[in-house]
Amino acid sequence: MENMLERERKETILRLLDLHTYTTIHDVVEATGASEATIRRDFIQLEQNNFLRRVRGGVELIPSENGNERHHELPSFNRRKNINREKKRRIAKKAASYISEGDTIIIDGGTTTFHMVEYIASMSLQVITNSFAVAEHLINHSNCTVILPEGTVDPNSQLILNNLSSDPFQNYTAFRAFMGIEGITKNTLTNNDPLVIQTERAMIEHAQEVVILADESKFHIIGSLTLCPIERVTRIITTGDADPQRLSAIREHGVDVQQI
């Protein structure tokens, strides 16, 4: 990451903002390799041109005025992805660390897995995803090849949904599938939406390894529908505050549980 042009830095800042609606000086320093002072100056200039608003510690998107064009404000998804943002990013970063250049991977929709795009944008991957949000960022900001299933895009969840196709991914095979879920018991992964679970089952079907991204809360939730038995899972990435007893119960099924 040698000596970025000013323009590249500013694009990076705006991209991070697009991704997270808020970003810190430190994030940008890390992403660009420039010094804190320089990033501060960039912030000031971008603020003067009305691209963002400075707040203590970082910058944020200018809230879209009511009824304004720019970003109809993806109601639910954009808000939800920022809930427990830093935890989700930590999990996503760890998940991304298992990916190698050139891999073919599946990325499930959802707010936790979404944060993986930040960490894979610099790689060249084949990415199969049912998340329109993931697709959008990778297509416009990376060299990844993006493969989408057929379906209707739900603006709230930014998921591509389909109940017409028995196997939306019949044409594809991936090394790893990175999945979000709604709930984990010691025996099964669960979810609530029948439309979503259909696609997710297909994803698991077509991946050799299944990696689950799950913050601590998932261990308290049981969805009404079974996604798959826990043995099918290769690895679970979760945070340090997850209940050790539950984790060791899961480990007994041969699952590699990573806490970060």
Partner DNA sequence: TTTTTCAATCAAAATAAATCAGAATTGATT
Partner DNA sequence: AATCAATTCTGATTTATTTTGATTGAAAAA
Q: What is the contact surface with DNA in residues (CB under 7 A)?
A: 3, 6, 9, 24-26, 33-35, 37-38, 40-41, 44, 54-58
Element (H, E) at 61: none
CB of 78 to DNA, least distance (A): 23
Span near a second copy by CB under 8 A; candidates 2-10, 31-39, 195-203, 221-229 = 2-10
CB of 33 to a second copy, least distance (A): 15
Helix 25-32 to helix 6-20 angle (10° resolution) is 130
Q: Taking CB within 5 to 8 Å according to partner kind, which of DNA, a second copy, none is near residue 83? A: none
Beta-sheet pairing, 22-24 with 58-60: antiparallel
Query: Does 75 help bind a second copy (rule: CB under 8 A)?
Result: no
Q: Cα(233)–Cα(44) distance, rounded to whole angstroms?
A: 47
Span near a second copy by CB under 8 A; candidates 29-37, 99-107, 109-117, 137-145 = 137-145
Torsions phi, psi for 224 (to 5 deg):
-85, -15
Q: Cα(181)–Cα(201) distance, rounded to whole angstroms?
A: 11
Characterize 108-119 residue by residue with b for buried, 16 or more Cβ atoms within 10 angstroms of its Cβ, and e for exposed: bbbbbbbbbbbb
Q: Which is nearer to a second copy, 132 or 178 (CB)?
A: 132
Q: Which residue among 45, 97, 100, 171 contacts a second copy (CB under 8 A)?
A: 171
Q: Taking CB within 5 to 8 Å according to partner kind, which of DNA, a second copy, none is near residue 149? A: a second copy
